[in-house]
Structure 1
């Protein structure tokens, strides 16, 4: 029997006074984190949250998120973490699909989520610093089977409505073990991140790996390059984790800093999107550390491959299969590809999800009876066995580390009465890796413009999903069946065509 909170409890017993969490204004030792989390778990149980009940959690990367997350686990319930930028329709969908019994919402969030909960009669608890009770004795935790669902993380893949990937107790514990092994994490390490913990990267690769190794985790509620640099110096971080846009932003904010300023930093862990080679080279020189890229998905609890810490990072590659995992590149017939040949990436191992929540057909489409997960990504391995991700099988856009699903945005565009045709694609972007672009055809005589269409999507989508580039055309190219041919869209022209409207944006992910 096991529980996701087990690593915290282990270190609370063996090194109770070691720092586990650092926030902007607070710290928690392992014993204090254990007490706070199990006390909150007791309150959940008293409120009749039972093992297996789903609890939605929406909060930025603050210590309170960690306490609530671990409390839900300690109570034997299932955590459903969601993006804090989720709109009311997006939240209503998750609340309904997951059958949520309780929503725990950060006290500084806007009204969209609480309105969604109210519309579905889902009770709401407010999450604030006052929930942290760090004195007294730890309460009991629920013993669970390794195959019990511990978390449901919603991801669309590339088509359809979002699907809930069921991550088990065993998935999350294995992710922590693999992450600690890959980074050689120990109680001496001080890890820091500005990643959102509601994302699998932050949960598994960072939070679970840190607690498994027994080190401390410093959290930045909202990424800002100057604040991240300040945290790096203040907490003398030895490990940082982020996405490529973060590294690039930190380079521009570092000024005249040199490696001596960050002498204690061992490694920077990069994921979420492809890492540009030039960014990696300059970052390693400026910060005097090794930057290591990895590859994984929500459905594999963030793990698949990782660059070896002894060999250092190989530019353009995400490394070999991590310990206890298998990765293969296969052709259309299911045969393993030879080095250098592009095929679809398959992953197998203890971090592969249980399946999609209440979607057996979708699960069967990606997960074989023998445990291999079909990622939908195209890649190839070199003669060393290192994986390079070449492209995405469908049209998934990765903007600043966030997955953006064109079909979801197209669905919103089509709800506008003047939109006749719509296609959403990703275009290369120096800052975000990819930017969201929409090409639309309107009703004859319509006076709809890009700015108005942006306002329409802003009311219905999270900020990172909003098309920043909008091109209005007479008609989109279609195939013989009437299907819009996205491959006919000239992505380069979307940056230069005078009909294109670029919407102002902030420079944060």
Structure 2
């Protein structure tokens, strides 16, 4: 496919990036530390650390893994915690030591945790004590030999650390009882690491940086093998895109999505680390009032999130009272941004909510909307620099501009394959090396791509394809709707029918009102046959609505 999208690039964004500028993420880390040493790198719960402090602490953690635990080069180190200062210390320390980071969702059940630790072959794990009871159950069945436990207050300094830990443990009772013999506290690991010197690991683009697990909501989770080259490539692509709009050493980015998620990891943690930004880590973004209070403390310039997060902020009365004078960029990914949310976002903040698209397997960015757009455009944007896309039919043939097909991607950010799954890896790529995303898309003549939906989420009504994103966008535009998810359910007459699950904004909202609203905006076969109200919708750890769970519930109920 010709790169017709290049003609729509904003001024200053290059067609190609130099992904060899940095030999590894460790190389990038060291260059940023030299350049921004005394600038604040991270803030969490009122405590800040500079680039220099992060350099020293992460070196100690690397030295602990090397000198104290004597882990071999390339060993896997699992990290299981929310956004805390401990995360960048452990993550950068592991990478600098020559190890592979295995990011773990702290909300995993014992079954899910056992699978990931077994599959990755993790030698060590850093875990927040709140979740240690889950690890305790699976330890006898997994290869983990070293357990480093931390607490929410551990890096906050005295007396705040003691106060936070007392409240979490004794008042809120958020730490279930656990016992893991031989575990080491995070602060003790850093002290032990200080007795050793970090040996600078020789790391190149082909070395594995992360095993990033994906597919847990659609089957057995698989580890996407993301190399230093993949991640460096993608952060270079992201930086090339935002470069004309940001200033080195001056940005303040809000990180509400967890750093163990690929979007937040690359976009927030790594890309903005390269330009010397201050990263404000939000430990519990589900506490929206607390989140808004934290936002009020910082002159933030950039925020990333998913549609549900932006929607929740907009439905908090205090959010509109914030100072948006320095605010520049809001980037939505992970799920489709809805028109109603984008419109309200611009009205409240004065800035466009830009939609981006990516996958775990692509490190993650594939497309981003130009940051000079005046309005939300309902597309996922243009392919980023040094990225090829090809939209193909079921036979693997490229379709014409304007035609639907599977979005396929090739570029430096695309994973090497799935960890220890050669058959899955082979199926994931076309014969000419394009990654099959499984997403149905259309490209217009300007190169903008509109995501129609996931193949597996498509609803077939009397032979007509119905795409949940479209239904959800229409339902979400009703003023009485807070959240919505659309799925297909079995129907004797039409094969499948559309069902929507709705969280009300106003108690008076009725199913009849939603159906009437849809009839005004959708062709007959797309109008929901079933409306079910819920107090909340099931979501992933980053707030993405789980259509599969709702679909499965409906199937079992039927």
TM-score (norm 2): 0.72
Specify the alignment match of 1:446 in structure 2.
none
Q: Could you say which residue in structure 1 is the equivalent of 2:209?
A: 150
Q: Distance in 1 between matches of 2:210 and 2:319?
A: 43
> 1:504 & 1:45 partners in 2: Cα distance?
46
Partner of 1:245: 308
Structure 2 SS opposite 1:308: coil
- Measure, in 1, the Cα distance between the counterparts of 2:502 and 2:405: 29
Q: How is 1:145-184 mapped onto 2 (pairs within 5 angstroms)?
A: 145-156=204-215, 160-184=219-243
Name 1:404's counterpart in structure 2: none
Q: Quick one: which of 6, 10, 24 aligns to 1:3? A: 24
Q: What's the TM-score once normalised by structure 1's chain length? A: 0.78
Corresponding residue of 1:93: 115
Any stretches of 5+ residues in structure 2 without a counterpart?
1-21, 156-185, 460-467, 504-510, 512-528, 544-558
Aligned to 1:17: 38
For the 8 Å contact 2:292–2:318, the answer to whether it is kept is no
Summarize deviations over 1:193-242 as a string: whole Å, max 9, x none: 21011111111121111112221111101103333333333121100010
Task: Give how far 1:373 is off.
Answer: 0.6
Segment of structure 1 superposing worse, 428-437 or 377-386: 428-437
> Cα distance, 1:298 vs. partner?
0.4
RMSD: 3.2
Q: Relative to 1, partners in 2 of residues 1:210 and 1:355: Cα closer, same or farther, differing over 3 Å?
A: same
- 8 Å contact kept, 1:233–1:262: no
Which of 55, 58, 65 lines up with 1:34 in the alignment?
Answer: 55
Q: Counterparts of 1:302 and 1:431 in 2: how far apart (Å)?
A: 28
CA shift digits 1:263-321 (9 cap, x unpaired): 10001011010001121111012112232110000000111000011234542101100
Distance 1:396 1:193 in 2: 32
Aligned to 1:417: none
In the TM superposition, 1:440-479 aligns within 5 A as: none
Contact 1:245 1:431 in 2 (8 A): no
Separation in structure 2 between the aligned mates of residue 55 and residue 178 of structure 1, nearest angstrom: 27
Aligned residues: 438
Q: Cα deviation per residue 1:17-74 (whole Å; 9 max; x = unaligned)?
A: 0111111131111111111111101101120222211121100011111111111111
Which deviates more, 225-234 or 489-498? 489-498
Check if 1:337 corresponds to 2:399.
yes
- CA 1:159/1:285 → structure 2, altered by over 3 Å: closer, same or farther? closer
Preserved CA contact (<8 Å) 2:233 2:413: yes
- Give how far 1:95 is off: 1.1
1:353 aligns with one of 407, 412, 415: 415
Q: Does 1:386 align with 2:409?
A: no
2: CA distance between counterparts of 1:225 and 1:487? 41
Worse overlay, 11-20 or 85-94: 11-20
More deviation in 150-159 or 281-290? 150-159
One of 360, 372, 381 as aligned partner of 1:298: 360
Question: For 1:491, what is the secondary structure of its paired residue?
Answer: strand
**Whole-Å separation in 1 of the counterparts to 2:238 and 2:454:** 25
Shift of 1:5: 3.0
Q: Does the Cα contact within 8 Å between 2:123 and 2:143 map onto a contact in 1? A: no
Superposed CA offset, 1:458-494 (max 9, x none):
xxxxxxxxxxxxxxxxxx779xxxxxx9962542499
- 1:381 is displaced (CA, Å) by 1.3
